[in-house]
Amino acid sequence: MNLLKDINHLLPVAGIKIATAAANIRYSDRTDLALIELAAGSTTSAVFTQNAFCAAPVLVAKQHLSQSNPRYLLINAGNANAGTGQAGLDAAVACCESVAAEMGCDTNQVLPFSTGVIGENLPVDKINNVVADLKIDLNPHHWHAAANAIMTTDTVPKGISCQVSIANQVVTITGIAKGVGMIRPDMATMLAYITTDAKIEKVLLDSCLEKTVAQSFNRITVDGDTSTNDACVLVATGQSKVIISELNRTEFQQALDKVCEALAKALVRDGEGATKLITINVTGAQNTNESDRVAYTVAHSPLVKTAFFASDPNWGRILAAVGRAGVKDLDINKLKIFLGDLCIVENGARSESYREELGQKVMKETEISIDIQLNRGQASSKIWTCDFSYDYVKINAEYRS
């Protein structure tokens, strides 16, 4: 499923309403503010960036989530409200206060989220001026509008819906996400909001989110940078009356995993200036730390990434990246590397069956897999990344222009 094309088919989730507005925070010709209303009684789970310089809205959202059952998620684009000290914290709270006053809830029932330029003060007045407009615009069908409003350097909005039958009843899951640069989440400028009408207790919801993030959003990288503002939120409204427990968790977890993996891959596919989606599979490692280290070393190599952009089967760059990944006592004679189905390295050298024209054919594809077989254990890792193009440098060099 290519979410860069299929976003128009987003399903409403009972208990969720959405509004957008143009606050002119940084962009003058588009919406840049979204509000998600959660039905009373909803359960909310969230994970946030591991960057030590986490943004003010992250700190406030964490605090508010620990104090209440949230009723509103407020998301602005164009300004990250990061690196802004006490003024940033005050600004984030002030926005929550404005929404709470308009909607009739407690301030700590509003979770703030921001994405955009770091180090600039958040224009609170611009946001507060359109909160009343947000209230008027609330509608269960405004998912596509919200996916557009939260974008920064994204070229297209990203969203997906999924329905699954549990106990002969239909459960709906709909999610949106943004982020195409400064991406290696490790919960980058990535924000994701996933909602379901199932009823799930907080402890189980936390567990479901932790599991799915570990295998989706924490398995992607565009450039290896973890930003100050990452957040992924999962909301269960309970409006379908379908109760998810440990007994029937498997069906729900599989559907949730499908949604989050699709969103994660969509972020990479739309990576800043990206032209190719690259899947890196590492197998036969002694442990997952080892397989992760190999996968990310290859994914973060500028030489590997630029070769993929050029469709150049320069397999030596992949081999060199594996060799410097820090795998202790790596036996290169046991190592095998495949580009798609094509073996490029075995027995410590180029595969005898490899032909340059065959490698060239694979490299011209827009979705490519690299399979690295270490043959020294049972552990494995899979991550998704993209190539580096001229546009990546241009976009980031001119980001504040």
pLDDT at 186 over 80: no
Q: Is the pTM of this model over 0.85?
A: yes
For 97-118, the pLDDT digits (tens) are 999 999 999 999 999 999 988 9
The pLDDT tens digits for 292-337 are: 999 999 999 999 999 999 998 888 999 999 999 999 999 999 999 9
CA–CA separation, 295 and 312 (whole Å): 20
Domains of the chain and CATH, by start? 16-269 (3.60.70.12), 277-397 (3.10.20.340)
CA nearest to 161, candidates 260, 242, 35, 72: 260
In contact, 189 and 183? CB cutoff 8 Å = yes
Per annotation, catalytic residue among 115, 189, 226, 237:
189
- Look-up: residue for tokens 């207790």? 201
Residue 352: pLDDT over 60: yes
Q: pLDDT band at residue 397, thresholds of 50, 70 and 90?
A: confident
Q: Is 43 an active-site residue?
A: no
